[in-house]
Amino acid sequence: MPQQQVETRLTELRAQLQHHAHQYYVLDDALISDAEYDRLFCELLDLEEQFPELVTPDSPSQRVGGEPLAAFAESLHSLPMLSLDNIFVAEELEDFEERIRRRLSSSEQITWTAEPKIDGLAVELIYKNGLLIEGSTRGNGLVGENITANLRTVRMIPLRLHGTEVPDQLTVRGEVFLSYRDFAYLNQQRSEQGEPLFANPRNAAAGSLRQLDSKVTAARPLSFFVYGIADAVDTPCQNMAELFPWLQALGLPINSQSKICRNLNEAKQHYQHLLTIRHELEYEIDGMVIKVNEFRFQEQLGNTARAPRWAIAWKFPAEEVVAQISSVEYQVGRTGAVTPVAVLEPVRIGGVEVRRAALHNQEEIRRKGLMIGDRVLVRRAGDVIPEVIRPLIEQRSGSEEKIIFPKICPVCGQPLHRPEGEAVTRCRNLYCPAQRLQRIIWFAGQSGLDIEGLGPKNVKKLLAEGLIKDIPDLFCLDKNQLEALEGWGKKSAERLLQAIAKTKQTTLARFISALGIRHVGETTAELLAASFGSLDKLRWATQERLLAVDGIGEQTAAAVTAYFADQENRELIARLQDLGLTIQATEKQSVGTLTGMVFLFTGTLSSMTRIEAEERVKSLGGETVSSISKKVTHLVAGEKAGSKLKKATELGIQILDEQKFLRVTELSIKTA
């Protein structure tokens, strides 16, 4: 067959297969038999094998997976992928609405979207000119893992968008999950092959997407629904009600249980409906997500450090089972908090075997009147963390024993202390082995310096062998001693030492997070680093100065000042720096810079991502925000700028196009 005829036939085959795959996997309305689909697919594979130069990225053949990767690359999100705050009762929904109305100056009616909260893995998909070019996990909200090859194998995700109005660029966000049927099928396969079974559909979906070999992912029957977009300016839509059918027309799967609600009463009714049909659905849901429908209101409301102010997750009541408390253990965390844990006779909740459950603190045990030997109601809080609800007092036999909270630390033997006004009892001995262990695990873990090969198991081993005593000792490890460890060797020792050496140069944000300060996680650490620029400035910051940072509350401000006021913490930081740990400062410039200027970006930039543009502003002393207000001094308008541009014009804010922004910042860089 001449090549021109082959090209024509390949185009026909790809169009037919994409159409029928969409009908089958997205619309659940197959138009041809499986045998006919397989015949077309085999013809496609045969032609592409003969003419490999004609294979295209959007060909259905590209769903079968490629060569295994050594590791996942990082993927920067153009706008943060935030978490959602949770509520559990209807009264909290009314409080949520009241907070929104206080923030909005408009008296217009607010409408809402209500959609099932699927228990899966959040991902981001980037389409350029209709073609899927990148897919990533949520990660820490700012940076995720590039899992494009794996996401290409998910049949409900179109490799190319459909329709005649395909945008130049579109970033969508959605949830990858496994249906109950596909989860059972997957576990049946694993059982037949003698492999361990997955505990629940979410773990199975997450594990499938994080396979370095995309052929493994391709063999897993994953599903997908879109729940939103990164930026409304990429669409012609004014609200979620317009967005969902627009996305569906492009070939993206939308959850049929999503509903537009005129008021919160309708949202409450939909919550009850979803709760009623929860177990009739083909997939697992653990609540309902409620969002403000109008994009202009979403922009005005903005975000906190971790969650949008315009959306919230209303979680379902957790499933409950009866278990028996056989004993109580006490865990000591990195901040010295002593947490009681109930050891249970094993029970299953939502497909997961539960052997331990949180008791939270001494006051909680007293309030609930719990005893060792009690039969108790247990649930997975938020369907995740098991907790004891209450004892079944009527079933007591008289042999139950009172739970006596220890007065000394169960690990180091030092007296415990419960600060006035706090429910948590703490060990104040900073040299407590349990605290030291958890501090090192945190410091070396993903929320800290992310030292490859130094997980909890290896940290415990190094401590047990006496090779380390505290965090700084990680940078003094001896190669010969590591090689001598049981199960180790020359290569293992070299890999760990190389991984540690790589982290000797770290960013300010990562170092702040690694310190393990109470109430300071990765997102808050990013805020502090961006605001203060250097460790010295943060170290001497007052609570008032900390509270001036958008997203920092009183608890966090108090925890940060208390941490740096402690002499032992200051000595730990000094020792790390003496050992060669270099913290890259992001000092704001003082001459010829953007100090005092506040930038807001809208639309799409062609020369850089929005994160890169914002970093450029911050490096020159400027500030960036995500919503329009009188505080903004400059609005940078890229392609397809939205309602922010109109509002900025009304407020008299200076407007810069991309070229002017580049000239201003390049001039500032040269001047600085």
Q: Which residues are catalytic?
A: 117
Residues 6+ apart with CB under 8 A from 501: none
β-pairing, 634-637 vs 654-657, is parallel
The DSSP-derived string for 102-135 is HH----SPP-EEEEEEESSEEEEEEEETTEEEEE
Compute CA distances 206 → 67, 200, 223, whole Å.
20, 10, 12
Give the closest residue to 640 by CA, choosing from 232, 355, 329.
Answer: 232
Stated length of the chain: 672
Compute CA distances 657 → 104, 493, 606, 629, 633, whole Å.
28, 53, 11, 19, 14
Q: What region does 360 belong to: left with phi over 0, alpha with psi -120 to 50, or beta?
A: left
Residues 6+ apart with CB under 8 A from 300: 103, 104, 105, 106, 627, 628
Strands (E), 516-602: 582-584, 598-602
Contact 392, 382 (CB under 8 A): no
Task: List 74's β-bridge partners, or say none.
Answer: 145
Contact 310, 297 (CB under 8 A): yes
Contact 209, 161 (CB under 8 A): no
Cα-Cα-Cα-Cα dihedral sign, residues 564, 570, 574, 577? negative
Task: List 337's β-bridge partners, or say none.
Answer: 426
Give the burial class of 123: count Cβ atoms within 10 A of its Cβ; 0-12 exposed, 13-18 middle, 19 or more buried. buried
The DSSP-derived string for 286-339 is EEEEEEESBHHHHHHH-B-SSSBTTEEEEEPPPPEEEEEEEEEEEEE-TT-EEE
Give the closest residue to 470 by CA, choosing from 429, 441, 449.
Answer: 441
Rounded to 10 degrees, the C-alpha dihedral 162/168/173/176 comes to: 40
Contact 271, 289 (CB under 8 A): no
SS3 sequence of 36-100: HHHHHHHHHHHHHHHCHHHCCCCCHHHHHCCCCCCCCCEEECCCCCCCCCEECCHHHHHHHHHHH
> Token digits for 326?
């056989």
What CA–CA distance (Å, rounded) separates 374 from 377? 10
Local structure of 34: helix, strand or coil: helix
